[in-house]
A and B are shown apart, each in its own frame.
Chain A
């Protein structure tokens, strides 16, 4: 009885529906019903979090949620919750709640909020769908839905610059989707299945055709994961409002790409097969190059959000690099970074948004003395930055340590060198910001300062970064506790390797 309740597959649908229904409701609401809209938004986000927690518990117990129906002959729409999908779903539902709260504050008094929050919710629904997708086809469905629902967010401001960024975003992502579709259709024609299964569904000898399919699929996903040379859209998309950037970078878009690559490697081709076919090493090389390339480019950015954007390009490739190490430890490192990077990066973006909204600061050289002016925000930013660099005992350290062990296990010592070099570069582009925040005095007035009562900024804007910053510390310090990202990643990998 109790088992039945926990195993109810409609939980999957409900987890999807919360944000989907919220989106529809919000579209219908008149522009001026702010209170109702906020309630609907936060209520849906909270409800989704509860549903996901229930499923996390269930998956931990070893249950597997599954729901499917046939769409076309041979093609199923399938939702499935396994340990890997709960990882991504958990991340997105937690961060959605925080980002929604943040966005409510951020967009106070700006037009077109119904449209914004409607697409925002759709975007999260797509992310949840990507997480819960039980086969490649369902994954693709939500992957394209994500593309469509983020476009209005990117161009939300309607300025010429935003429209240009939106255009390049849509060209990149739709082309990626098309390439992915081609790979998927070919895969189906070759293997007759699109299912995800631990250890992969591809059988037999590696062939050039399978290699070509792998390249197509990874190239399609690499666009969203901002893998070099497919990263061009990401820095431009920075014109979007801060909560959008935060969501795009930490949770939705780039992570969808990275998560997809993980799925393709581990559940479609199978780690062993992909490694034997010699597909992983080139990808690892590309990921390593992207890590260094992103970091170097970040050094030269003067715009705070652009620097963070290049940092994202660099950091997401850690995930791919980890998977490509083709060993249990490497995979743990990659997966745990999926969560860690999300939480750290969203902290940084929240803070950047706060500086922009409260002080009107967009450029790094305008940040002098922001620390004393906005202490809580700046502390959060500092924690995020140190986390990124990989300072013990913060979250980023756990990642880099595990990845390092993984690369030694895989006997690829050059990866350690890449990790070290990247950490040094990270420090090189983050420490000057921290230095400016705390150790430089302000000589002139802020570009556009807004006062929001007693606190340093609006409380909607203040709490999300503070909470995520606390989380960065906690998941680093308590990495060994059950349900911490690290333990969950180990759980995923254990199940993957010993199904």
Chain B
């Protein structure tokens, strides 16, 4: 049973990639329906299974670690798998309608989409440092391919920048892995963590950890390494932007978080923790500020991603040598922030795509009067904005609340100011969009109405992200499912 669930998560997306490469765009879409249903089903079944019997290590090919590759199937992984199933399905459904099936290059969309999904699942479940590297590369290359798909000069430039940044990040990570393997003689994260507990404060391991975190920070677009993100996320077709912002970025952050939680306490240092937090804080402020200045709608959303990702890095100072309870709060806050940002940002990009489609312009100022014609997409955008501003009852608020508690509890009150200021700054750019759309129209009246489904999907995502705060406790319960080291 468990083997089939693993296969469902890891191998079926790959199989779907192969099959949709053989098919054209339309057939690929029909295939995708089935594939998304399978993924959803498998994810839920895995959740139920974990809820029933607790988390465990799964050895692929029956070769246990450290010889073989192990998967760590725990509550956090299941949370992310469920999140991926939700968001990727939404983006897939949107893409099927949104993309023009007659363009010859669109047939390659589905294979890349499925490869991306396979990579994401591999990363969520991965517990082997090198396997995570391969998973990251799978994600990066398919993401680059999606950005570049059929693109003109600007898109190519964006995707090249993205490719180079992603590769440099991966190499930093891999160099760190090389040092870790040299130090500990194993690639399994669990094994490394165990050894690290017996041998604390190894200089080499600390440097290796810093290298890996630096590479992952570059891939997560942490300020000031974020330069590649806005062009890539801003120029890709909206469903792709949504996927990139909602899920792809989170993959590298997820690895960084896992590494930090496993090794940070023993091999990290106060300086690294505070530096990560400080850069995150700078990202929050700088990203929001830049988002206020962007002339193009999707660039605004892209810079907002830079800002929102910054919050995640507060995890580092808030879990380093603090009490278990505070660390727990910070981790829960981080998880909720990832989920709510994924849902809200996907909703926002998809809604932005609809707005662009409807006004025929990508400029913010051309939104004037659209409020009268497209209130539904605008409303989705707004609801997602509520989550980004972290107002209650959204998931963003719940995340911020937990992070605030962790900052106050650990006495690092300066991060609380960042959290508050970030919320206000994000309000500034979200309200900038509202403001533009409330403007009474100067002539422009030829709005094009996108199909109903395109409007319904961002709305559903936005509502999910808004309601996440209300369901905070059950969602966090998934993450907190018990894990048995030798199950």
Q: Which A residues lie at the B interface, using CB under 8 A? A: 27, 70-73, 75, 77, 111-112, 114-115, 137, 140-141, 144-145, 148, 151-152, 155, 157-159, 163, 166-167, 170, 174-175, 177-179, 181-182, 185-186, 188-189
Could you say which of B375, B402, B424 contacts A175, with CB atoms under 8 Å apart? B424
With A71-B470, A141-B393, A178-B423 given, can you name 5 additional A-B contacts, CB distance below 8 Å? A71-B472, A137-B392, A159-B440, A178-B424, A181-B404
B389 contacts which chain A residues (CB < 8 A)?
174
8 contacts across the A-B interface (CB closer than 8 A): A27-B379, A72-B401, A73-B476, A114-B375, A145-B392, A155-B435, A174-B389, A185-B408
- Whether A77 touches B470, Cβ cut-off 8 Å, given contacts A141-B393, A182-B420, is yes
Q: Is B259 an interface residue (CB 8 A)?
A: no
Is there an interface contact between B392 and A72, defined as CB atoms closer than 8 Å?
no
A77 to B392, CA, bound (A): 11
Is there an interface contact between A72 and B438, defined as CB atoms closer than 8 Å?
no
A167 contacts which chain B residues (CB < 8 A)?
431, 435
For B423-435 the 0/1 string (1 means CB < 8 A from A) is 1100100010011
**Closest partner residue, chain B, to A138 (CB atom):** B392
B427 contacts which chain A residues (CB < 8 A)?
170, 174
For B404-444 the 0/1 string (1 means CB < 8 A from A) is 11001100000010001101100100010011001110000
Is there an interface contact between B371 and A115, defined as CB atoms closer than 8 Å?
yes
B398 contacts which chain A residues (CB < 8 A)?
71-72
A174 to B389, CA, bound (A): 10
Could you say which of B375, B405, B469 contacts A71, with CB atoms under 8 Å apart? B469
**Closest partner residue, chain B, to A137 (CB atom):** B392
Q: Is B197 an interface residue (CB 8 A)?
A: no
A186 contacts which chain B residues (CB < 8 A)?
408
A72 to B399, CA, bound (A): 10
Is there an interface contact between A189 and B408, defined as CB atoms closer than 8 Å?
yes
Q: Is B372 an interface residue (CB 8 A)?
A: yes
Q: Is B391 an interface residue (CB 8 A)?
A: yes
A157 contacts which chain B residues (CB < 8 A)?
440
Could you say which of A114, A158, A175, A182 contacts B438, with CB atoms under 8 Å apart? A158
**Closest partner residue, chain B, to A112 (CB atom):** B372
B100 contacts which chain A residues (CB < 8 A)?
none
A71 to B391, CA, bound (A): 14
A175 to B424, CA, bound (A): 7
A27 contacts which chain B residues (CB < 8 A)?
375, 379
**Closest partner residue, chain B, to A141 (CB atom):** B392
8 A Cβ contacts from B365-404 to A: 371-372, 375, 379, 386, 389, 391-393, 398, 401-402, 404
**Closest partner residue, chain A, to B332 (CB atom):** A73
Is there an interface contact between B392 and A189, defined as CB atoms closer than 8 Å?
no
A77 to B427, CA, bound (A): 24
Q: Is B484 an interface residue (CB 8 A)?
A: no
Q: Is B473 an interface residue (CB 8 A)?
A: yes
B438 contacts which chain A residues (CB < 8 A)?
152, 155, 158, 163, 166
A158 to B434, CA, bound (A): 11
Among B401, B404, B471, B472, the one with the most A-chain Cβ atoms within 10 Å of its Cβ is B401
What is the distance, in angstroms, from B36's C-beta to the closest C-beta of chain A?
A: 28
8 A Cβ contacts from B170-190 to A: none
Q: Which B residues lie at the A interface, using CB under 8 A? A: 332, 371-372, 375, 379, 386, 389, 391-393, 398, 401-402, 404-405, 408-409, 416, 420-421, 423-424, 427, 431, 434-435, 438-440, 469-473, 476
Is there an interface contact between A185 and B393, defined as CB atoms closer than 8 Å?
no
Q: How many A-B pairs with Cβ below 8 Å?
A: 89
A167 to B428, CA, bound (A): 9
Q: Chain A interface mostly helix, strand, loop or mixed?
A: helix
Could you say which of A72, A145, A174, A181 contacts B402, with CB atoms under 8 Å apart? A72
A49 to B427, CA, bound (A): 34
- Whether A170 touches B431, Cβ cut-off 8 Å, given contacts A111-B372, A185-B401, is yes
What is the distance, in angstroms, from B270's C-beta to the closest C-beta of chain A?
A: 22
Is there an interface contact between B371 and A189, defined as CB atoms closer than 8 Å?
no
A159 contacts which chain B residues (CB < 8 A)?
440
Is there an interface contact between A72 and B372, defined as CB atoms closer than 8 Å?
no
A459 to B402, CA, bound (A): 52
Is there an interface contact between B392 and A188, defined as CB atoms closer than 8 Å?
no
B405 contacts which chain A residues (CB < 8 A)?
185, 188-189
A115 contacts which chain B residues (CB < 8 A)?
371-372, 375
A182 contacts which chain B residues (CB < 8 A)?
404, 416, 420
A178 contacts which chain B residues (CB < 8 A)?
420-421, 423-424
**Closest partner residue, chain B, to A74 (CB atom):** B405
Is there an interface contact between B379 and A72, defined as CB atoms closer than 8 Å?
no
Among A144, A167, A181, the one with the most B-chain Cβ atoms within 10 Å of its Cβ is A181
Is there an interface contact between A144 and B391, defined as CB atoms closer than 8 Å?
yes
A77 contacts which chain B residues (CB < 8 A)?
393, 470
A388 to B444, CA, bound (A): 47
A454 to B133, CA, bound (A): 81
Is there an interface contact between B391 and A148, defined as CB atoms closer than 8 Å?
yes
A179 to B405, CA, bound (A): 15
What is the distance, in angstroms, from B398's C-beta to the closest C-beta of chain A?
A: 5
A71 contacts which chain B residues (CB < 8 A)?
393, 398, 469-473
Among B391, B404, B421, the one with the most A-chain Cβ atoms within 10 Å of its Cβ is B391
Could you say which of B386, B401, B469 contacts A148, with CB atoms under 8 Å apart? B386
B393 contacts which chain A residues (CB < 8 A)?
71, 77, 141
A174 contacts which chain B residues (CB < 8 A)?
389, 423-424, 427
What is the distance, in angstroms, from A74's C-beta to the closest C-beta of chain B?
A: 8
A490 to B375, CA, bound (A): 46
- Whether A144 touches B424, Cβ cut-off 8 Å, given contacts A111-B372, A163-B438, A185-B404, is no
- Whether A166 touches B435, Cβ cut-off 8 Å, given contacts A148-B386, A182-B420, is yes
B372 contacts which chain A residues (CB < 8 A)?
111-112, 115
Is there an interface contact between A72 and B435, defined as CB atoms closer than 8 Å?
no
**Closest partner residue, chain B, to A77 (CB atom):** B470
Could you say which of A111, A151, A158, A179 contacts B439, with CB atoms under 8 Å apart? A158
Could you say which of A72, A73, A140, A158 contacts B440, with CB atoms under 8 Å apart? A158
What is the distance, in angstroms, from B405's C-beta to the closest C-beta of chain A?
A: 6
Is there an interface contact between A144 and B392, defined as CB atoms closer than 8 Å?
yes
Is there an interface contact between B472 and A72, defined as CB atoms closer than 8 Å?
yes
A170 to B404, CA, bound (A): 23
Is there an interface contact between B423 and A151, defined as CB atoms closer than 8 Å?
no
B409 contacts which chain A residues (CB < 8 A)?
189
A159 to B435, CA, bound (A): 11
- Whether A140 touches B402, Cβ cut-off 8 Å, given contacts A70-B473, A170-B427, A178-B423, is no
A189 contacts which chain B residues (CB < 8 A)?
405, 408-409
A182 to B405, CA, bound (A): 10
Is there an interface contact between B435 and A181, defined as CB atoms closer than 8 Å?
no
A70 to B420, CA, bound (A): 24
A186 to B391, CA, bound (A): 17
Among A114, A163, A178, A189, the one with the most B-chain Cβ atoms within 10 Å of its Cβ is A178
A257 to B333, CA, bound (A): 29
Among A73, A141, A170, the one with the most B-chain Cβ atoms within 10 Å of its Cβ is A73
Which 10 residue pairs across A and B have the least CB separation, nearest first?
A: A158-B440, A141-B392, A185-B404, A189-B408, A72-B472, A144-B391, A178-B420, A155-B438, A174-B427, A70-B473
A72 contacts which chain B residues (CB < 8 A)?
398, 401-402, 469, 472-473, 476
B439 contacts which chain A residues (CB < 8 A)?
158, 163
A185 contacts which chain B residues (CB < 8 A)?
401, 404-405, 408, 416
A151 to B372, CA, bound (A): 16
B472 contacts which chain A residues (CB < 8 A)?
71-73, 75
A159 to B7, CA, bound (A): 58
What is the distance, in angstroms, from A169's C-beta to the closest C-beta of chain B?
A: 10
B332 contacts which chain A residues (CB < 8 A)?
73
A225 to B345, CA, bound (A): 34
A145 to B470, CA, bound (A): 14
A442 to B329, CA, bound (A): 70
A155 contacts which chain B residues (CB < 8 A)?
435, 438
A145 contacts which chain B residues (CB < 8 A)?
391-392
A98 to B332, CA, bound (A): 46
A35 to B452, CA, bound (A): 26
A377 to B198, CA, bound (A): 84
